[in-house]
Amino acid sequence: MSDPFMLDPNFKRSAILLADHRKESTVGFILNRPLGMQINQLVSDFPEFSSEVLFGGPVATDTIHYVHNVGEILDESIKVMSGIYWGGNFKKLKILIESELIKPENIRFFVGYSGWTEGQLADEISVGSWYISKMHANYLFKSPPQALWKQITHNMGDNYTVVAQIPDPVCLN
């Protein structure tokens, strides 16, 4: 969760799922930046599928990533945590969608990703740019993206409930 006063427009009031965190780098996806287009509008041979694409972050914006809850049927998926998987075999993904075994509520698509080099994210956390919160699969698959930052911040407890109420832009406060 970004601090409400973060000035970087890529991350202002963003909720991010960290999909891969290692000593040398971290990869995540912004969960609350809809792009206003469907996945089949971006990928020409993709089946008709009503799933809005999100801006995953400013890194490699020429790539598409997906996070889902069907890792047990999508080969090559990487388990992020209980109920959340990243990636998988793209050809099989399209077949599972055409077969209606994967529905829009099972998956989120992202253009680009958010990335940090070794020590960068830890430094940003230490200066208060980010709040750390537990991730729940329901945030990803059941909550409307536009309400997610406020919802997660509110759910973090008493001190953060006040932060969740800070208006955007802050000058309205």
CATH number for position 109: 3.40.1740.10
Q: What's the whole-number average pLDDT of the chain?
A: 90
Domain count across the chain: 1
| Within-domain flag for 132 | yes
| Within-domain flag for 22 | yes
| Within-domain flag for 23 | yes
Q: What's the pLDDT at 30? A: 97
Is the predicted pLDDT of residue 149 greater than 90, yes or no?
no
Q: Which domain holds residue 105?
A: 16-172
Is the predicted pLDDT of residue 13 greater than 50, yes or no?
yes
| Within-domain flag for 3 | no
Those residues whose C-beta lies under 8 Å from the C-beta of residue 148, and which sit 6 or more positions away, are 15, 31, 32, 139
| Within-domain flag for 9 | no
| Within-domain flag for 48 | yes
Those residues whose C-beta lies under 8 Å from the C-beta of residue 110, and which sit 6 or more positions away, are 29, 30, 53, 54, 55, 56, 57, 64, 65, 66, 67
What is the mean predicted confidence (pLDDT) over 16-39? 96
| Within-domain flag for 126 | yes
